[in-house]
Structure formats: C-alpha cells, structure tokens
C-alpha cells in the first residue's frame, strides 16, 4: 500500500465514506497523487538535518569567546594533529575568537542556505555542491579531521567524523539518474560505484573500530564518561551504563562493532531479504550508539553543533535499502494543484 496525497479537505463534515469517489464513471479518483520520489524524500531529510545544524549554530554559546565558547571548542580539536594541520585549525579558531558574531553568523547563514537550497529543484545541485565543500571544511577546521590522526576516530564516538556523512549523502543523493535502480543511492552514481562506496565506508568503519584507542576499554569508557555533564537524568543514567559496559567489555564491544561493519559492507552483495535483515541490525546498532554513546551529538546538553554520526549513518543505510525494481515512484515532479478550501467545522 503506497502512501499517496489525497485532498480530503473538501469533504463536508459528516459526509459518508466513499473511498473511490470520482471513480464511479471510470475516471481516476480526483486529487490522488503519486507518492513523492524517494531520492527527493531523502534530499529533504538531509535538508532537515542541515536546518537543525543551522539553528544549533545560533545557540548563544556559539557567539561566546573563550574556552567555553565556539572558538575554544574549535581550538580543542587542534591538539594531537600533525603540526601544519594543528596550525590551520588554530588559525581558524583564532579568527572565530576575534570575530565571534561575524564568523558564527556567516557559518549559520551558509547552513541555512544549504538547507533551503536543497528544497528547490533549481538550486538543489548548487546547494549539495556547497554542502560537500562546507562539510569537508568543517571536518578539517571544526572536527580536527575527525581525530583520525590522534588514533581516536572510533565509530562509537562518531569517527571518522559525522560531518563526512553529510558530504557522502550529498554525493549519493545528487539529483538525476534512473529510478529503476535496486536502491536509491545507486540512482546517480550507478550500482557498481554505489556498492564500492558502501564497501569502502563500512570497511573503514570496521578498521577504525579496532585501531588506535578504538578498542581500548579505558578510552571507550572515557569517551562516554565525560559526556554526562548537563545531560537530562535519563541520558546521564544511560551514560553510566554505557561507560561501565565499555570499561568491562570495551575490547569485545569494539570487535563486535567491527563484525557488524564488515557484515554491513558485505550486505549489498547478498539477496535483498538478507540485505534488509542486516540493514535493520545495523540501523538498530547505530541508533543505540547514537543515543547511548554519542548522546545525540550532545544536543540535549545544550552544547552541540550537529547531531553526530549516528543519525546520518541510519539515513545512509536507508538509501541502500533494497527496492523492488519497478515499484519505485517515477522521478517526474507531480503537477501542482490549487490549494483547496476546507469545510467549516461542524
């Protein structure tokens, strides 16, 4: 059963039910429209996340100087990186420190433009292009390259950088392509390229789960233990459970995550039912990580700039959800219909 748009606003209150009104004479039901194209839907979901990021950028602490402000947050990512990267991040943090209102307003504006640019079919391509450039810039200057060079880019904590998934989704959701692909992510880049991207991404996540401090129980414990400050009570309680689990079974959990990532990488080569089962497990695991480890990016503590990687990984997985070929809706835009009036309240 597909979801369709039906104008139900013109029905008089108390009218008798007639599900196929208008079809009695053989004509199609009036005001029944085909469902929105799935690629377009995912673009709009991505735009929603960009809008969330833009508004998060407007939080008061973002405009504040000092170690508790945005510039202090940026400066914190410089440490541990190679010298020239360290300097570039410090240089950017210094600019933000000296002009917090100007720079932060500009950062927010760019994200608003990306979010609203994706909405219009005329501006979606420039907006996605800007989002790729912006995401890579944020990954460098705002996330310290996801702490990859510090050996702490475990997927539990959002490694190799949540913002990279914005860029990846922008590439995979680039408008165009044919709608008869087996999954949405293959529409534009093609099935082979999409599968290759998938394998590389999940292979990288599997490696990052095991290298550096990714498998260290103490490091994983510290990853969560430092987050509970400012969180609501229920999430602080969850954090304590997560921290204890990492302290006692950190290495085991890291290996399990790597196994899940490898299975997910292989899933695109399996029959669709098997792929769906693995994707459900993957999304459940990353939903758990997003809440219990990443704390929804720290948004509930009032100090976040984005929702971290968990949410984006789930969206990415959904773009690889197997479609039965031919059942996907046509990409052609639906014809606009005039706004309609609603019957008065009874």
Spatial separation of the C-alpha atoms in residues 338 and 346, rounded to whole Å: 24
Residues 26-55 that bind another protein (CB under 8 A): 29-33, 40, 44-45, 47-48, 51-52, 55
Separation CA 141–CA 88 (nearest Å): 7
Residue 87 lies near another protein (rule: CB under 8 A)? no
Residues 127-166 close enough to bind another protein by CB under 8 A? none
- Residues that contact another protein, how many (by CB under 8 A): 69
Question: Given candidates 25, 27, 60, 271, which one binds another protein under the rule CB under 8 A?
Answer: 60
Structure token pair of residue 343? 């019957």
Q: Does 240 bind another protein (CB under 8 A)?
A: no
Shortest distance in whole angstroms from residue 256 CB to another protein:
27
DSSP secondary structure code for residue 290 in this structure: H
- Alpha carbon distance 50, 166 (integer Å): 9
CA distance 37 to 9: 23
Task: Note whether 331 binds another protein by CB under 8 A.
Answer: no
Instruction: Examine residue 314 and say whether the peptide bond preceding it is cis (omega within 30 degrees of 0).
Output: no
Q: Render the burial of 132-158: b for 16+ CB within 10 Å, e for the rest.
A: bebbeebbbbbbbbbbbeebbbbbbbb
Window 172-191: residues binding another protein (CB under 8 A): none
Binders of another protein among residues 219 to 238 (CB under 8 A) are 231-232, 234-235
318 binds another protein (CB under 8 A): no
Asked if residue 302 lies in contact with residue 249, where contact means CB atoms within 8 angstroms, the answer is no
Could you tell me which residues come within 8 angstroms of residue 282 by beta carbon, excluding any fewer than 6 positions away? 260, 263, 264, 267, 313, 317
CB of 247 to another protein, least distance (A): 26
CB of 130 to another protein, least distance (A): 17
336 binds another protein (CB under 8 A): yes
SS3 32: strand
- 325 touches another protein by CB under 8 A: no
Residue 32, phi then psi, degrees to nearest 5: -95, 125
Is the Cβ of residue 56 or residue 148 nearer to another protein in the bound state?
A: 56
Q: Which residues bind another protein (CB under 8 A)?
A: 1-13, 15-22, 29-33, 40, 44-45, 47-48, 51-52, 55-56, 58-61, 63-64, 101, 105, 115-116, 119, 231-232, 234-235, 296, 299-302, 333-346
């Amino acid at each position: 059963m597909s979801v369709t748009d039906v104008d139900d606003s013109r029905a008089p209150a108390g009218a008798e039910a007639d599900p196929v009104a208008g079809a009695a004479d053989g004509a199609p039901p009036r005001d029944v429209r085909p469902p929105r194209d799935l690629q377009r839907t995912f673009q709009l979901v991505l735009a929603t996340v960009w809008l969330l990021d833009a508004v998060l950028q407007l939080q008061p602490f973002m405009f504040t100087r000092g170690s508790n402000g945005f510039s202090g947050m940026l400066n914190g990512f410089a440490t541990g990186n190679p010298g020239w990267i360290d300097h570039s991040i410090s240089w950017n943090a210094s600019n933000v420190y000296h002009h917090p209102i100007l720079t932060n307003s500009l950062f927010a504006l760019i994200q608003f433009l990306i979010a609203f640019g994706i909405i219009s079919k005329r501006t979606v391509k420039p907006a996605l292009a800007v989002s790729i450039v912006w995401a890579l810039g944020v990954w460098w200057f705002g996330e310290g390259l996801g702490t990859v060079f510090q050996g702490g880019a475990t997927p539990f904590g959002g490694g190799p950088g949540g913002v990279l998934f914005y860029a990846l989704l922008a590439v995979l959701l680039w408008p165009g392509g044919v709608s008869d692909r087996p999954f949405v992510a293959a529409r534009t880049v093609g099935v082979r390229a999409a599968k290759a991207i998938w394998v590389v991404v999940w292979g990288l996540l599997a490696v990052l789960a095991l290298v550096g401090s990714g498998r260290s129980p103490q490091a994983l414990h510290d990853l969560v233990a430092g987050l509970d400050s400012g969180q609501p009570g229920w999430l602080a309680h969850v954090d304590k459970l997560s921290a204890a689990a990492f302290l006692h079974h950190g290495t085991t959990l890291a290996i399990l995550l790597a196994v899940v990532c490898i299975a997910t990488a292989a899933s695109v080569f399996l029959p669709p039912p098997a792929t769906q089962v693995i994707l459900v497990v993957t999304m459940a695991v990353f939903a758990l990580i997003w809440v219990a480890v990443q704390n929804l990016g720290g948004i509930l503590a009032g100090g976040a700039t984005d929702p971290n990687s968990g949410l984006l990984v789930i969206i990415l997985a959904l773009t690889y959800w197997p479609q039965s070929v031919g059942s996907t809706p046509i990409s052609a835009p639906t014809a606009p219909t005039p706004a309609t009036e609603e019957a008065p309240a009874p």
